[in-house]
Structure 1
């Protein structure tokens, strides 16, 4: 919204100041031109009259008496001054000496000066200024209307892309609400509401993931619970129908095993459901990944001979120790489950990034299956009879990596020939 507010303020100020200044200058130029034209035509008769009076008074011996008899009620005033009382610059002096009238303008009058060369006097013709205010009112009204209409037009031009983007956002939200969960808003660099559009896309992506995960959870529950429930029902029925102590003990063990399996599945479901909550608190601070890997590897005491790892100094990232340990344990367990003889753990700094690589010498993961394995309850290859769990390990790793702004990807291991899991953190 900051971009929207600033752009609106800029457009309004630019329109008001720029358009006002342009119209003001244009009006002033028109007014000045009109005033000059009007003044020139109106003063022509006064110049002619003044020139005739000046020629007459220059030859008249009683010029002062003539001026004294000039009607004081006339709107045109006449007066005589000595030539020496009118000092002029050299250029004006030369023009005035050749008989060209000199026009001066005061606040209320226009003064036209005529030279009387024989008497070395100056005749001053004083003409009151005409009030042009009434004549300009119509023009002022036109320019005022143009000013406000211009601002309105500029604001409407600015509003057009905003309205278009809002309509697009409304259509996307409507389509999303009707079930088109892949609906997204196309974001352009010039959009005033790009932050809102990005938040909508993030929200839509989050909801789509939740819905897809819920579908997977539903399918997994229906599949993984059905088998132990069926065995449990069969075991209870068999237990009711036998009196043999050995068979009863065997059926009881089977029932207990099925209940344990169901408990584990429910625990996995609850754990992942908790991780899907938007309010999970990730307490991030500086964590030494080398030290954390040492701790996680130390938990695999019986399989240490399969793990190739050498700690090298200290490499820190911002993260939550509990969730990072969960990420490492899931990756190590997954690699140990699919490895033939060994796994390799590497931790290196690449510029401002810290890169964690966990690879194994197993059969690897086909490229077209890698993205699927990042979803919950998606199992890997079980062709060799290896237990593949519930398919939650990599889904949990993906979610924890997202919380830490890290990138998680799956590749082929060049050194060992199996799969290679890479987590790239922002280093400290």
Structure 2
């Protein structure tokens, strides 16, 4: 045990106790190896996330630097304004990324969710569509009211973030229309967001919930953390989220939230 612990402390995260060498301490060896495995997985995930974040931060920073350099050579006020707008857009993207990242880290750290409360989902949908609808010109956002009132007991702030991210994602990829509905179920509620875009290939539907995964190379839409946050919010509520094929021809995201929060 001491030799293995020393190896791990010196950076060999793959070190494990061979149970055959400690037949009388099999339970201890098993518990130690389980702890070591979880530690290695956590550190590997953090390293991968840090590498991904570093890559994502470079893009808006490079745009800001490039546009700032060009401002000095602008020959007209219109040209100067255009380059300032480019700086502003890149700064906003950077701010959005940092905000999503802080939320992601908070959820990963097992920080407590807010006190659960009764959330009326149709009212929440109205508020979120008012926020996200104007950001996607030419896209119609429809709230399909399956029932007059659909309630769930949950952390309102987290559920609003999850549904908002789903609406934002759908708005980016839709051709003309996004639809959202809430279906009351026996022990919780099912929230579905559909779009009429190109959809997601079946083999890629689980991947979209990983941080910074983009199915189209060079696709700079969003922060790369939106769906990863939805997945973690669902998990923290004891629920699920899956990507499916929509009857509208695009993608459907189905978020199930049970009423009995853990």
Bigger radius of gyration among the two: 1
Correspondence for 2:4: none
Q: Is the 8 A contact 1:323 1:400 kept in 2?
A: yes
1:230 positional shift: 3.3
Correspondence for 1:421: 253
In 2, Cα distance between equivalents of 1:409 and 1:162: 45
1:391 positional shift: 1.3
Q: Deviations over 1:289-340 (max 9, x none)?
A: 2332233234345468342522513232220111111111111111121112
* CA shift in 2, pair 1:213/1:378, >3 Å: farther
In 1, Cα distance between equivalents of 2:37 and 2:212: 29
- Considering Cα pairs closer than 8 Å and 6+ residues apart, tell me whether 1 or 2 has the greater RCO: 2
Correspondence for 1:394: 227
Secondary structure, aligned partner of 2:252:
strand
* CA shift in 2, pair 1:335/1:277, >3 Å: same
**Which residues in structure 2 correspond to 1:41-56 (within 5 Å)?**
none
1:175 positional shift: 5.3
* CA shift in 2, pair 1:363/1:317, >3 Å: same
* CA shift in 2, pair 1:352/1:216, >3 Å: same
**2:11 maps to 1:168:** no
The one of 92, 99, 102 equivalent to 1:267 is 99
Correspondence for 2:114: 282
What's the TM-score once normalised by structure 2's chain length? 0.73
The one of 369, 374, 397 equivalent to 2:204 is 369
Q: Is the 8 A contact 2:132 2:164 kept in 1?
A: no
The one of 131, 143, 158 equivalent to 1:299 is 131
Secondary structure, aligned partner of 1:354:
strand
Q: Deviations over 1:58-77 (max 9, x none)?
A: xxxxxxxxxxxxxxxxxxxx
Q: Deviations over 1:143-182 (max 9, x none)?
A: xxxxxxxxxxxxxxxxxx99543332233334555x4x3x
Secondary structure, aligned partner of 1:299:
helix
The one of 136, 145, 151 equivalent to 1:310 is 145
1:344 positional shift: 2.2
Q: Is the 8 A contact 2:178 2:193 kept in 1?
A: yes
1:408 positional shift: 1.1
Secondary structure, aligned partner of 1:219:
helix
Show structure 2 runs of 5+ residues with no match.
1-22
* CA shift in 2, pair 1:164/1:355, >3 Å: same
The one of 57, 62, 86 equivalent to 1:230 is 62
Show structure 1 runs of 5+ residues with no match.
1-160, 182-206
Q: Is the 8 A contact 2:200 2:251 kept in 1?
A: yes
* CA shift in 2, pair 1:286/1:166, >3 Å: same
What RMSD over aligned residues (CA atoms) do the two structures have, in Å?
A: 3.2
Aligned residue pairs: how many?
Answer: 234
Q: Is the 8 A contact 1:318 1:404 kept in 2?
A: no
* CA shift in 2, pair 1:215/1:245, >3 Å: same
In 2, Cα distance between equivalents of 1:364 and 1:333: 15
Secondary structure, aligned partner of 2:206:
helix
In 2, Cα distance between equivalents of 1:318 and 1:380: 34
1:278 positional shift: 2.2
1:244 positional shift: 4.6
The one of 237, 240, 243 equivalent to 1:407 is 240
In 2, Cα distance between equivalents of 1:265 and 1:326: 14
In 2, Cα distance between equivalents of 1:233 and 1:297: 34
* CA shift in 2, pair 1:236/1:418, >3 Å: closer
Q: Is the 8 A contact 2:96 2:223 kept in 1?
A: no
In 1, Cα distance between equivalents of 2:106 and 2:215: 24
In 1, Cα distance between equivalents of 2:185 and 2:249: 23
Q: Deviations over 1:393-425 (max 9, x none)?
A: 111111111121111111112x21211111122
